[in-house]
Amino acid sequence: MSSSSSNPGEIALANVPTDADEPTKPRSPIIRLAMAIGWVGAAIILSLGSAGIVGGMSRSPGDGSRPELTWAADQAVLPGLAAASTDLTRLSGELDQLGQLGRDAIAALINRDSAGLDATISSGTSVVATISSDTAAIRLKLGALSGIATGDETAIGADLRQRYDAIIVALATTADLRTSWVELTSGSAIASALTKDLADHDLYAGQAVRLGSSADYARALAVLATAQAALASAAKRRDALANTVDVTILTEWIDRNGAFDTATAVLYKLLEASPHRVTPAIRRAFANLSLAKQNLPPDTRALVVILDDLARGGLNQAVIAIEDSKGILANAVALIGGTSLPPGP
């Protein structure tokens, strides 16, 4: 066999084209687009995962952003806050009752209902004592809550800490109610006594005029002295209120009635000394009395204004303080109303 002859199998294999000899076909544009989108998606997922890891590593364990770290303590505090919500709702009802009693006290004062005013003040004092007692009890229970009694701000979650702080602020407002009610009580007492003085003056002054019309000047002067004493007492009470209440109208009332009483007393003394002869002094005294009578208020409307001024002075401020406390308490109840937590870690 000559050297130029070849194996038939080798010749067959030599004629089969290989991968290296086959030209490369270009990929479809759709395939290339799909591959690009896939790579972009993978890059986004990787970047988000890395950001999550970095963010998780950057959190402080106690800043409230890791609820899983305070979940157990939150669950322990939660029942106590739920109970506090019920307690605050009851306390809010007591404040409603006190606010109504405050308004009733003002109404009784304006209507010159001394008995009703005294009864209202007594009832309000009892309600204030109940509010103080209930407030102290709520504080005691909150102070014993796990995670709060330690004073550690990070022991419980930020949400529950906010609810707890709202309760403490609301309870602080009720502590001032005793002072507000004492102010209402003292203001009512002065105003009530002043009302009685003015009413007594009108009563006795009227009796004195009737006695003088009957020429019973001695008795008229005695009764008139009682009326003047009542007016002097009203002036002293007016002075006690001058720093907190506008007493301009009250002063005018007292001055004009005082001038009438003085003119009446002067005339009756002259008439008693000269019952059968009209002297020039009697004529002058009678003219002065006529002028003083013209200056008297025609009715009791001015007195109503006086009493309204007294009510607006100190009494309304006490009622406003009660209403403000009710509003803060209502906000706290609304804030702690959601007493649920996410599932545990």
Q: What is the pLDDT of residues 71-95, one digit of tens each?
A: 766 666 777 777 777 888 888 889 8
Lowest mean pLDDT among 172-181, 272-281, 333-342: 333-342
Place 20 in a pLDDT band, splitting at 50, 70 and 90: very low
**Cα(57)–Cα(27) distance, rounded to whole angstroms?**
44
C-alpha distances out from residue 223 to 148, 197, 205, 207, 282, Å: 70, 15, 7, 7, 21
**Cα(333)–Cα(93) distance, rounded to whole angstroms?**
12
Helix (H), strand (E) at residue 219: helix 217-241
Does this model's pTM top 0.75? My answer is: no
Query: For residues 234, 237, 241 and 247, what is the CA-based torsion angle, rounded to 10 degrees?
Result: 20
Place 324 in a pLDDT band, splitting at 50, 70 and 90: confident
Q: Are 258 and 231 in contact (CB under 8 A)?
A: yes
Backbone angles phi, psi at 59, to 5 degrees: -70, 140
Q: What is the pLDDT of residues 152-162, one digit of tens each?
A: 555 666 777 77
Mean pLDDT of the chain: 75
pLDDT of residue 206: 94
Q: Are 71 and 147 in contact (CB under 8 A)?
A: no
Q: What is the pLDDT of residues 276-293, one digit of tens each?
A: 899 999 999 999 999 999
Among 315, 334, 327, smallest CA distance to 174 is for: 327
pLDDT of residue 38: 54
pLDDT of residue 47: 47
